[in-house]
Structures are given as C-alpha cells and as structure tokens.
C-alpha cells in the first residue's frame, strides 16, 4: 500500500491562535511543531497497523515548515518544506491521500480558518464551488484517481471534508469556539484518535470514492484587499480584487 499525507500546522490539538503558527519566534514555534509531528507520526502508525509494509510519503504543507525533522517517523518519508508546487509528490501510483492537521477554509467558524493565505485571500472557487486547501487538493488527487480517505483537525474541517467526500474518515481533535478559540483533546488523546482513524481509512479506502468532477476547471480567486496584479500569465482580471483562469489540467491552477 502507498499513502500520501499532506500536513498543516493550524489543525492539531492544542493549537488555536495565529501566534502559534504565523506570528511566532522559531523557539516558540518548535513547541507547536512537535504537536503536529506527533499527530503525523500517529497517522503513520495507523497506516502501518493496517499494512506493516506500507510506503508512506508525507509532504510538510505548512509554508514556513511544520514538521520537526529529527522527530519524524523512522518508517515514513518526508518531503520537507521547500520550493515545490502541485502535485506535491502525489501521483496515480498512490492508493490514498490523507490530511493531518488540516484547517477549514476562510469563513467565520473554523479554528484558524483561512484559504491558502490567512492574511490575503477571501476565497478560492473552482467551477463555482468554494473550497479551501482540502477541497482543492482532494480534487487534484481525484483527477488522478486517488481517493482522499482521512482528514484530521477541528469539527468544522470535518464537516467541510464530509460535504465533499461522503464517508471520509475523520479524527476530530478540537472543537471550534471561534477563529482563535477551541476546546481541545490532549496531545496523547489526539494521537490515539488519529491512529485509529488512519487504520480505518486504510481499511475503507476502496469504499471512499475519489473527489472529482470533469474539467475544464475555472478557478476564481478573490483577495481581501485591492492588489496590483499587473498581468498575471493566463489569468483574467475580473475585478479589482478578483482573478480567474480556466484550464483542462487542474495542475495549471493555484492549488
């Protein structure tokens, strides 16, 4: 079995403020990165509980890095933060895609909710469907025939994922009480929950259909402030704060 895991730093238990993920010193950030690394390692353990010979590839999807490399699971492979674009190491040879530490898209409910940039983006839409990182990358995987089988994060992230991927396994490790407020599981309890759900996601991988719809794909991106875009290649300006692009290939878009 071969599994690709995408991570982010806003979704783990005990993380609910931007001063833990964005506006933070390296010394302070290390503390929160350890939480994500522990949850990722628990996901790997759950996959290996199902298939001890599984190949697990993890991409550190937090822009400034979210994984403590020296604490990373010995039996998985890591694509560390760096100059990488879609598909982030994913291809059709994988049996499943999983998300660990995921946050909800920009809105008014999810913990640390945002869409790609917490400071600049109002929304992403693809073919008029609003979606955040989870939706865009689950769709990317779906165009390769790869199902998205697990998501971990808060209850709003679970609801967002299940609306797009019915039947997806979800490990809720905190419950949203505001954009920077949550009720959390302990780190140990979160890791135990994720391990169980990762194993179940492997067991049920053939029951969960890839999230996909046919192209061409039209992506619309709206910013929170007026931006001087210049002339972005392949993109149409459709307002002072909005750009749009259409392509048959999902990888040509900003996902």
> 33-46: per-residue pLDDT in tens?
999 999 999 999 99
Planar angle of CA 115, 121, 122, nearest 5 degrees: 90
Diameter over CA atoms, the chain: 52
Ramachandran class of 128: left when φ > 0, alpha when ψ lies in -120 to 50, beta otherwise: left
Extract the tokens encoding 195. 């391990």
pLDDT of residue 230: 66
- Closest to 68 (Cα-Cα) out of 81, 51, 55, 49: 81
pLDDT of residue 145: 98
> Where are the domains positioned within the chain?
2-214
Hunting for tokens 């071969």 — which residue is that? Answer: 2
- The CATH code of the domain at 2-214 is 3.40.50.10780
pLDDT of residue 108: 75
Ramachandran class of 127: left when φ > 0, alpha when ψ lies in -120 to 50, beta otherwise: left
pLDDT of residue 234: 86
pLDDT of residue 26: 82
Within the chain, which residues score under 70 in pLDDT? Answer: 229-231
Cα 157 from Cα 153, distance rounded (Å): 6
Q: What is the 3-state secondary structure (H, E, C) of the chain?
A: CEEEEEECCCCCCCCCCHHHCCCCCHHHHHHHHHHHHHHHHHHHHHHHHHCCCCEEEEEECCCCCCCCHHHCCCCCEEECCCCCCCCCCCCCCCCEEEEEEECCCCCCCCCCCCECECCCEEEEEECCEECCHHHHHHHHHHHCCCCEEEEEEEHHHHHHHHHHCCCCEEEEEEEEEECCEEEECCHHHHHHHHHHHHHHHHHCCCCCCCCCCCCCEEEEEEECCCCCCCCCCCCEEEECCEEEEEECCHHHCCC
pLDDT of residue 85: 94
């Amino acid at each position: 079995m071969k599994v690709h895991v995408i991570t982010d730093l806003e979704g783990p238990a005990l993380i609910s403020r931007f001063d833990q993920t964005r506006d933070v010193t390296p010394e302070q950030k290390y503390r929160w990165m350890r939480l994500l690394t522990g949850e990722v390692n628990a996901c790997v353990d759950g996959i290996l509980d199902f298939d001890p010979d599984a190949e697990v590839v993890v991409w550190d999807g937090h822009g400034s890095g979210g994984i403590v490399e020296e604490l990373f699971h010995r039996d998985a492979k890591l694509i560390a933060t760096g100059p990488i674009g879609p598909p982030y190491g994913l291809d059709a040879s994988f049996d499943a895609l999983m998300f660990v530490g995921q946050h909800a898209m920009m809105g008014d409910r999810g913990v640390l909710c945002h869409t790609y940039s917490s400071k600049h983006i109002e929304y992403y839409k693809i073919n008029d469907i609003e979606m955040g990182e989870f939706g865009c990358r689950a769709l990317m995987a779906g165009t390769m025939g790869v199902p998205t089988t697990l998501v971990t994060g808060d209850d709003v992230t679970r609801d967002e994922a299940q609306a797009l991927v019915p039947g997806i396994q979800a490990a809720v490790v905190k419950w949203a009480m505001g954009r920077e407020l949550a009720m959390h599981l302990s780190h140990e309890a979160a890791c135990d929950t994720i391990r169980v759900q990762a194993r179940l996601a492997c067991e049920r991988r053939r029951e969960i259909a890839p999230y996909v719809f046919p192209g061409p794909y039209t992506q619309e991106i709206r910013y929170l402030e007026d931006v001087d875009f210049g002339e972005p290649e392949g993109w149409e300006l459709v307002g002072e704060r909005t750009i749009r692009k259409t392509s048959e290939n999902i990888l040509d878009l900003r996902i």
